[in-house]
Every structure is written in C-alpha cells, then in structure tokens.
Amino acid sequence: ELWVGAIERLQKAGLKQVGMIHRGFSSYGNTDFRNAPMWHLPIEMKRRLPELPILNDPSHICGRRDTLFGVAQQALDLDFDGTMIESHIDPDNAWSDAKQQITPEVLGQLISDLVWRHETTDKEEYLNALAGLRQQINNLDAEVIQLLGRRMAVAEKIGQYKKENDITILQTNRLTEILDRSKRQGAQVGLTPDFIERYMEAVHLESVLRQEKVMKG
C-alpha cells in the first residue's frame, strides 16, 4: 500500500512518466540477500498498475556479484520490463557497493546470457494445453475455497465452546502444533516451510477473527 500510495502522490502532482524500481526490501534475519526480493510485492504492483513499467535492481537485492544473474533472470521470467545492474571498470576498488559491482565485460556477458521470454504466443497447441491446465487450476482453487469455508465453520463451533466455557481464543500451543504438522505434510508434497507458515498463519488469523465474532455475538 505504501508503494501504491507513493506512485499515486507523484501522479497527482502532475508527473506523467512514472515507473517502479524493484530493489528488494529490508528483512530481519535475511542472509541470502542484501535486500529480500519479496517477489509477491512487485507481482501485486504489476497486477494493480499494469500500465507502469517496472525494472529490477539485482545489484541492491543481491549485494554480491555471484547471484546477480539468477535474480535478473527471475525478474524477466516474471515479465519485468528490464533490469538495472551496477558496473565499474575496477569493481574491487569502487568507492561504493564494491561487492555487488561487475566489470562492463562481465555485464555484457550477463546480458547476453539472459533469456527474454514472450508474455504469450498464438501457437494453437500451446493455447489449448494452457487452457486445459488453467481449468484444472480453477477447479482446484474452487475446491480449496470450499474446504476453507468448511474449516471456518468448524472454527466458529470451537469459538462457541470456548465462549461457553470462558476459554481464551488464542491457544499458542495449538498454533505451534498446526504449523509443525502442516510443514511436515507440506514437505511431503514439495511445499516450502516458508509458504506453509505464511499460508497457515493467514488461515489461523481468519479463524481467530471468526471466533472473536462468536465471542461478541
């Protein structure tokens, strides 16, 4: 919301040529990047403001040379409009950000190695296959939403029992149990612990809000 608000203020001030630069975000405990990319944020910005160009800044995201290509390629795979990469004729002796700078020669090779993909194609075989797979996604999403609705109904029943017995809504031991079990189950089907934790925390928060309504009812 802060990112959107900043852009809206610039546009209201009369600026016409506005774009976005994805430099990553400061993240507590992050060790892989100088600034965590948090790809979901620029993806959401592209969804909300599709008319604005967005550039990726792998130099400030990575903070070091050896991971620049991977981040730059991922940005292009996500349909970013380009990248901006720091270059210096003598990177080790650069006055600032020496660890993340590369020589012009290395930059040229990096750029030539990047794969620029198309947003779509008119190939009938591709379009038919994609349509079928997307319909599978739609069906699965509908099933997930139905299951979430049933889960929330059970959470409300639990809230009613808690209300009748003067029990607190938040049960931290139960939340820990759910997260641990879900991470184990997720690992068995290739889901990362980070995704499972964010997903289950969102589900748990909605359950808490439902139980709060029951308590106040």
Kindly report, residue by residue over 46-101, the tens digit of the pLDDT: 999 999 999 999 999 999 999 999 999 999 999 999 999 999 999 999 999 999 99
Residue with tokens 């029990």: 167
Query: What superfamily does domain 2-113 belong to in CATH?
Result: Aldolase class I (3.20.20.70)
**Within 13 A of 107's CA, how many CA atoms are on the CB side?**
16
Sign, CA dihedral 63-54-76-186, equals positive
What is the per-residue pLDDT for 1? 81
What is the per-residue pLDDT for 119? 84
Say if residue 210 is exposed, middle or buried (CB neighbours under 10 Å; 0-12, 13-18, 19+).
Answer: buried
Give backbone dihedrals phi and psi of 215, rounded to 5 degrees, phi first.
-60, -35
| Helix residue ranges, H only, 58-192 | 58-62, 68-77, 104-113, 124-164, 172-188
Domain ranges of the chain: 2-113, 124-216
Spatial distance between the Cα atoms of 86 and 199, rounded to a whole number of angstroms: 36
The topology (CATH level 3) of 124-216 is Chorismate Mutase Domain, subunit A (1.20.59)
What is the per-residue pLDDT for 68? 96
Residue with tokens 């994805």: 22
What is the per-residue pLDDT for 2? 85
Side-by-side strand order, sheet with 20-22: 20-22, 54-56, 82-83
Spatial distance between the Cα atoms of 168 and 155, rounded to a whole number of angstroms: 13
Q: What pTM value is reported for the model?
A: 0.73
* b/e code 70-93 from CB counts within 10 Å (16+ = b): ebbbebbeeebeebebbbbeebee
| Positions of the chain with pLDDT under 50 | none
% of the chain beyond a pLDDT of 90:
90
Spatial distance between the Cα atoms of 20 and 88, rounded to a whole number of angstroms: 24
Cβ neighbors of 55 (< 8 A, separation 6 or more) are: 19, 20, 21, 22, 80, 81, 82, 83, 84
